[in-house]
Structure 1
Amino acid sequence: MAEIQRLLTEEDAAELRRARELLENPGLAARLVDQLGAPIEQGLQRLPQKWHREIGRISKTALGKAADAALFTLDDAPFRAPSPRWHQAAVAASGAVGGFFGLSALAVELPISTTIMLRSIIDIARSQGESISSPATKAACLEVFALGSTRQGTDDAAETGYYAARMALSGLVSEVGRAGASGAGSSASAALLALLRKVAERFGVAVTDKALAQLVPALGAIGGATINSIFITHFQDMATGHFLIRKLERKYGQAFIAEAYQALA
């Protein structure tokens, strides 16, 4: 580790440590339980089985609508400072409405909150020097929804690490970049749809945690706003870590940064 550290500037080493702290923190379910307490632990046992399938469908639809609405509505201005608090306030407002109407409002509320979150992720990517007109950057923004979305104890818990999660999506992310760069519209659309389907599998786990929390009657509209605030903060952290890593990879190379990241463990 000492040899690797010597090859990084002091600022870059600090950014790598910060990225790892963000990316390897507990997932959304742990954050919900930590901040909202015992009622959430009770809610984690109460979701009907049929809702798991429905949440998967809603998650995929929400990501598709978010990609259409958010990916092309920000200026391509690398290194512009992000506005996380504005996006947090907007998502909290949508959560308050969803919390008031309960779990049945998820199909309406989730596409709205997911679009706002994706705009925030794009905003963070731009602040780290990414060109948001690049197909590879658009794919990397969607990739964030698959990071930190798996609960411990599930069958794919071994894939919860940052680089393991990226590896699982690397082929699809690369395909989106290649198809977009070639200018073949049909190929790019097919590659993006394939990536959306894969990301939705992971994102659906986080959405399930959010839905479970909203099952707790005592939380109400205030709880819905709080849950959504935790929800977006989680993915803003994932985005910040992810795009810090990508910035360092552009400077030092992916293999070197991956080794330095693992050495921090």
Structure 2
Amino acid sequence: MSIDLIPASLEQDIDVIARRYRKAGGMGIQVLNLVGGHAENLMERLPDPVKDHLEEATLKALKVASAAATRSREIVADQSTWLNTATATAMGAAGGAGGLPTALAELPVTTTVLLRAIQGIAAEYGFDPSESKIQAECLQVFAAAGPLAADDGADMGFLSARITLSGTTVQSIIARIAPRLSAALGQKLAAQAVPIIGAVAGAATNYAYTSYYQEMAHVHFGLMRAGSRHGVHRDQLVLRLSDAVKSL
């Protein structure tokens, strides 16, 4: 279908998705106001050994999260958005209370909660998170980095990035997105690095991250469902969504 022939019902879907995208972009400003300082300076607070191994830690966290989130669906039902956010916020506070050591230990747990929440949203849109292709799509949501690394939500790059999912393993996608995600998670760790104060920062950053990624999951799977329903290629939807976001 030509982008000029998109029906009114699809335009309405795109408008809803655009508002979610804009809402997600605002989460970064919220968290920066809560923890103080500027995102670009947070990474300087981390010790050099932590910065040097951050990508490796992110890669490990994603691998653990991917396996754990998928297995947990067989045991625990999907939770509501507010409960996912509350859980992650509490974990962020606990992780930040002990400074950097506990923040590092909390990282894979929080990543699992985030990925599980993303899988739940995928199911909400009619996709099966037990399928390897949908697991890959869930991981692809993380390509949006995070609220501390985002600007005003205008960057549509993560949506238009092309990956061939057929024959592509989950592990290769994890390796692909880990470098970008590590920068965002490094800023989160830096905000939690000071004990006690880190508890407040950890709660604030986890609140922002969980809210951000859940909104991004709605955007991602909303586009997938809209494209499937109306027979429109994702690239065309991204272009129209980009215009819609700019017009808000």
Structure-2-length-normalised TM-score: 0.81
| Residues in 2 aligned to 1:198 and 1:26: alpha-carbon distance in whole angstroms | 26
* Cα displacement string for residues 87-128 of structure 1 (whole angstroms, at most 9, x for unaligned residues): 112112221221111111233111111111111111111112
**Residue 163 (structure 2) pairs with residue 165 (structure 1):** no
Match of 2:86 in 1: 89
| Residues in 1 aligned to 2:58 and 2:193: alpha-carbon distance in whole angstroms | 17
| Residues in 1 aligned to 2:85 and 2:137: alpha-carbon distance in whole angstroms | 21
Match of 2:191 in 1: 213
Q: Is the 8 A contact 2:143 2:158 kept in 1?
A: yes
**Residue 1 (structure 2) pairs with residue 21 (structure 1):** no
Runs of at least 5 residues in structure 2 that lack an aligned partner in the other structure? none
| Residues in 2 aligned to 1:67 and 1:259: alpha-carbon distance in whole angstroms | 30
Q: Is the 8 A contact 1:19 1:244 kept in 2?
A: no
Q: How does 1:108-119 map to 2 (within 5 A)?
A: 108-119=105-116
Match of 1:8 in 2: 8
* Cα displacement string for residues 18-41 of structure 1 (whole angstroms, at most 9, x for unaligned residues): 244246x2574x443133334877
SS at match of 1:112: helix
Q: List, as ranges, runs of 4+ consecutive aligned residues in structure 1 with deviation greater than 3 Å.
A: 3-6, 38-45, 148-153
Match of 1:156 in 2: none
Which of residues 174, 182, 191 is equivalent to 1:196?
A: 174
Runs of at least 5 residues in structure 1 that lack an aligned partner in the other structure? 154-159, 180-187
Moved more, 85-94 or 111-120: 85-94
Match of 2:137 in 1: 140
Q: How does 1:28-43 map to 2 (within 5 A)?
A: 28=28, 30-38=29-37, 43=42
Quick one: which amino acid aligns to residue 7 of structure 2?
Answer: L
Tell me the percent identity: 25
| Residues in 2 aligned to 1:128 and 1:13: alpha-carbon distance in whole angstroms | 15
Cα distance change of structure 1 residues 13 and 50 upon mapping to structure 2, 3 Å threshold:
same
Q: Is the 8 A contact 1:92 1:224 kept in 2?
A: yes
Match of 2:236 in 1: 256
Cα distance change of structure 1 residues 87 and 196 upon mapping to structure 2, 3 Å threshold:
same
CA RMSD of aligned residues (A): 3.0
| Residues in 2 aligned to 1:222 and 1:208: alpha-carbon distance in whole angstroms | 17
* Number of equivalences: 235
Q: Is the 8 A contact 1:18 1:241 kept in 2?
A: no
SS at match of 1:72: helix
